[in-house]
């Protein structure tokens, strides 16, 4: 974005989030008047069903220089927490039955203490399940509005420059040196063995000749 358009672009981001029924977790907008360069950053939660529409709206605000997507599978954690919550609820029901059947104050107090602990455990599991369900229903989006040189896209892997050539050449030399060292490490002992065999053969031939002449 042009530095003078950052505030206008940020307002359009807020409008797009509102239209999608999303949530702004946090945001920061800088117009360049302070110590920060002009730009804006947003951390958003967008309903999964409206994610495509929201991303399309964001793309229409300005030129998209870089986009990255990632997903996390939360099926197993969700199923696990839900099963533990069902077990905890069943234990609470069982403790309530024990409390109703308690015949002494001591027995009643013991059951009540265990019941309080289990109810807190169930509440914690419900909170975890709610958070997982929110993750399943909402997508987290990080959006950055940049200006000037900061808006340049990440280096492309498709180009090939003199710097790339020098880097590749250096890499080739390093690999070649490594191959040479490995080769010497393998051939060195073999060459030594061959030299010993040759010397032994020479000594045996010389000894045989001396015996023949003697």
Mean pLDDT of 171-187: 52
pLDDT of residue 88: 93
Whether residue 68 is predicted with pLDDT greater than 60 in this model: the reply is yes
Helix (H, G, I), strand (E, B) or coil at 208: helix
pLDDT of residue 31: 78
If you ran DSSP here, which 8-state letter would residue 175 be given?
A: H
Mean pLDDT of 133-138: 74
Mean pLDDT of 19-25: 89
Work out the pLDDT band at 204, boundaries 50, 70, 90. Answer: low
Q: What residue spans of 46-161 are helical by DSSP H?
A: 51-61, 75-101, 105-137
Report the share of the chain in percent with pLDDT over 70.
65
List, in sequence order, every residue forming a beta bridge with 92; answer none if it has no partner. Answer: none
Whether residue 3 is predicted with pLDDT greater than 90 in this model: the reply is no
List, in sequence order, every residue forming a beta bridge with 24; answer none if it has no partner. Answer: 44
Whether residue 19 is predicted with pLDDT greater than 50 in this model: the reply is yes
Mean pLDDT across the chain: 77
Mean pLDDT of 29-48: 84
Select the highest-mean-pLDDT range: 9-18, 41-50, 135-144, 176-185.
9-18
What's the CA gap between 57 and 70, in Å, rounded?
20
**N-term to C-term CA, the chain:** 102
What's the CA gap between 111 and 157, in Å, rounded?
66
Angle, alpha carbons 154-167-162 (nearest 5°):
75
């Amino acid at each position: 974005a042009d530095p003078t358009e950052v505030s206008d672009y940020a307002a359009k981001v807020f409008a797009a989030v509102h239209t999608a029924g999303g949530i702004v977790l946090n945001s920061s907008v800088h117009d360049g008047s302070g110590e920060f360069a002009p730009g804006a950053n947003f951390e958003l939660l967008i309903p999964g069903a409206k994610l495509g529409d929201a991303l399309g709206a964001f793309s229409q605000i300005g030129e998209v220089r870089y986009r990255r997507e990632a997903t996390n599978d939360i099926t197993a954690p969700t199923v696990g927490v839900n099963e533990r919550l069902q077990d905890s609820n069943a234990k609470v029901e069982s403790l309530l039955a024990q409390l109703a059947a308690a015949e002494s104050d001591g027995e009643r107090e013991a059951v009540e203490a265990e019941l309080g602990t289990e109810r807190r455990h169930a509440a914690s599991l419900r909170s975890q399940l709610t958070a997982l369900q929110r993750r399943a229903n909402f997508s987290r989006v990080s959006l950055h509005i940049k200006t000037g040189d900061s808006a340049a896209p990440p280096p492309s892997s498709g180009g090939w420059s003199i710097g790339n050539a020098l880097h590749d050449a250096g890499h080739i030399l390093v690999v070649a040196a490594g191959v040479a060292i490995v080769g010497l490490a393998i051939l060195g002992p073999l060459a030594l063995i061959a030299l010993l065999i040759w010397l032994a053969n020479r000594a045996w031939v010389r000894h045989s000749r001396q015996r023949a002449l003697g």
